[in-house]
């Protein structure tokens, strides 16, 4: 079986498992398609109240160039969205609960990728909110294996990336679209179909 055939089978397996989750839209992407921009970092720095307050956001995540290099060290990417309908944008607790649901799905999808790849890194919408108060910058992150860095914090133009794969970002005035990016590399060995017979 050649490499592209194996890749197709891996994707098929992943896609089959993902049908079990309330994922709205998804796409496999090539890493060179990810648009990194200093403009995103400028917006983080000048407009986001989470800038400099979390391990999941800049400047803790490094420069845009460092983020770009780290991302490009993987082999492929996967983007997906989930939506929350009937969102009350003024109700922060309700919004946080909706976002927590998206992050749970992201972690479950990460597990699916880990079954196929040695190295997997996920990024999710907005700043990490696991702890009531982030330990940044006084102590290390309390949950480094659980924390999902912000995709925007990497300097990625999320809407441009989504639109280039026909993923809809605006789904209605009371609908929030949550976005995640998963990077992966190092495909695990496929079990040989004849191995059982030869034992």
Provide the token pair at 177: 């679209």
Compute the least distance from the CB of residue 16 to ligand SF4, in Å.
32
- For residue 189, the minimal CB distance to ligand SF4 (Å) is 33
**End-to-end distance of the chain based on CA atoms, in angstroms?**
22
**Nearer to ligand SF4 (CB atom), residue 98 or residue 147:** 147
Nearest to 28 by CA among 155, 117, 145: 117
Whole-number minimum distance, CB 38 to ligand SF4, in Å? Answer: 23
Q: Which is nearer to ligand SF4, 133 or 196 (CB)?
A: 133
Cβ proximity to ligand SF4, 31 vs 130, nearer residue:
130
As measured in angstroms, the least distance from the Cβ of 15 to ligand SF4 is 30
d(CA 105, CA 189): 26
Q: Which of 77, 149 has the CB closer to ligand SF4?
A: 149
Residue 162 CB, nearest approach to ligand SF4 (Å): 24
Site for ligand SF4, rule CB under 6 A: 54-56, 128, 130-131, 134-136, 141-143, 147
CB of 46 to ligand SF4, least distance (A): 22
Q: Which tokens in the block code for residue 193?
A: 């179909």
Nearer to ligand SF4, 20 or 49 (CB): 49
For ligand SF4, give the closer residue by CB, 76 or 149: 149
Sign, CA torsion 123/128/129/135: positive
């Amino acid at each position: 079986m050649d490499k592209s055939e194996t890749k197709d089978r891996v994707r098929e397996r992943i896609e089959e498992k993902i049908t079990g989750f309330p994922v709205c839209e998804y796409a496999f992407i090539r890493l060179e398609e990810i648009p990194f921009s200093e403009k995103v970092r400028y917006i983080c720095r000048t407009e986001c109240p989470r800038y400099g307050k979390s391990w999941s956001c800049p400047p803790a995540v490094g420069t845009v160039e460092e983020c770009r290099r780290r991302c490009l060290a993987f082999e492929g990417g996967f983007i997906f969205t989930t939506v929350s309908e009937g969102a009350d944008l003024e109700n922060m607790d309700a919004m946080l609960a909706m976002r927590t649901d998206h992050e749970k799905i992201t972690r479950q999808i990460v597990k699916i990728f880990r079954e196929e790849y040695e190295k997997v890194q996920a990024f999710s919408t907005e700043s990490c909110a696991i702890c009531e108060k982030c330990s940044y910058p006084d102590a290390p992150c309390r949950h480094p294996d659980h924390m999902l860095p912000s995709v925007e914090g990497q300097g990625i133009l999320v809407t441009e990336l989504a639109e280039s794969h026909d993923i809809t970002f605006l789904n209605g005035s009371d609908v929030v679209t949550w976005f995640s990016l998963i990077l992966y590399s190092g495909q695990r060995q496929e079990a040989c179909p004849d191995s059982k017979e030869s034992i």
